[in-house]
Amino acid sequence: MKFGILVNEGPYTHQASDTAYQFARAALAKGHEIYRVFFYHDGVNNATRLTVPPQDDRNIVKRWSELAAAHKLDLVVCIAAAQRRGLMDKSEAKRNAKDADNIAPGFRISGLGQLIEAGIQADRLVVFGD
Amino acid sequence: MTEEGAGGAAKRFLYVNRRAPYGSIYALESLEVVLIGAAFEQDVSLAFIGDGVYQLVKGQDTKALEVKNFSPAFRALEDYDVTKLYVEKEALEARGLSEADLVVPVQVVGAERMAEIMEAQDVILDF
Provide the pLDDT for residue B8. 58
**Range in A77-81, A120-124, B35-39 with the lowest mean pLDDT:** B35-39
Provide the pLDDT for residue A52. 97
- Average pLDDT value for residue range A16-37: 98
Q: Among this protein's residues, is A11 annotated catalytic?
A: no
Q: Give the confidence band of B54 by pLDDT, cuts at 50, 70, 90.
A: very high
The neighbouring-strand residues paired with B126 are B16
C-alpha–C-alpha distance, residues B39 and B33, integer Å = 10
C-alpha–C-alpha distance, residues A24 and A5, integer Å = 8
Closest to A6 (Cα-Cα) out of B27, B6, B126: B126
On whether any CB of chain A is under 8 Å from the CB of B3, the answer is no
Angstrom distances, CA of residue B91 to CA of B18, B54, B116: 10, 9, 17
pLDDT at A119 over 50: yes
C-alpha–C-alpha distance, residues A5 and A20, integer Å = 7
Topology (CATH level 3) of domain A2-128: Hypothetical Protein Ychn; Chain: A, (3.40.1260)
Domain residue spans of chain B: 3-126
ipTM: 0.93
On whether any CB of chain B is under 8 Å from the CB of A81, the answer is yes
Provide the pLDDT for residue B3. 45
The full DSSP string for B36-51 is HHGGG--EEEEEE-GG
For B92-117, the pLDDT digits (tens) are 999 999 999 999 999 999 999 999 99
Q: Percent of chain B at pLDDT above 70? A: 94
Provide the pLDDT for residue B99. 97
pLDDT at B48 over 50: yes
Residue of A7, A68, A76, A78 marked catalytic: A78
On whether any CB of chain A is under 8 Å from the CB of B118, the answer is no
Provide the pLDDT for residue B5. 44
Domain residue spans of chain A: 2-128
pLDDT at B2 over 90: no
Q: Are B30 and B17 in contact (CB under 8 A)?
A: yes
Q: Percent of chain A at pLDDT above 90? A: 100
C-alpha–C-alpha distance, residues A51 and A61, integer Å = 7
Residue among B29, B36, B127 whose CB faces A116 most closely: B36
Q: Are B33 and B125 in contact (CB under 8 A)?
A: yes
Q: Give the confidence band of B4 by pLDDT, cuts at 50, 70, 90.
A: very low
Provide the pLDDT for residue B9. 79
Chain A nearest CA to B61, separation (Å):
23
Q: Decide if domain B3-126 falls under CATH 1.10.10.10.
A: no
For B57-93, the pLDDT digits (tens) are 999 999 999 999 999 999 999 999 999 999 999 999 9
- Average pLDDT value for residue range A33-39: 98
As a whole number, the mean pLDDT across chain A is 97
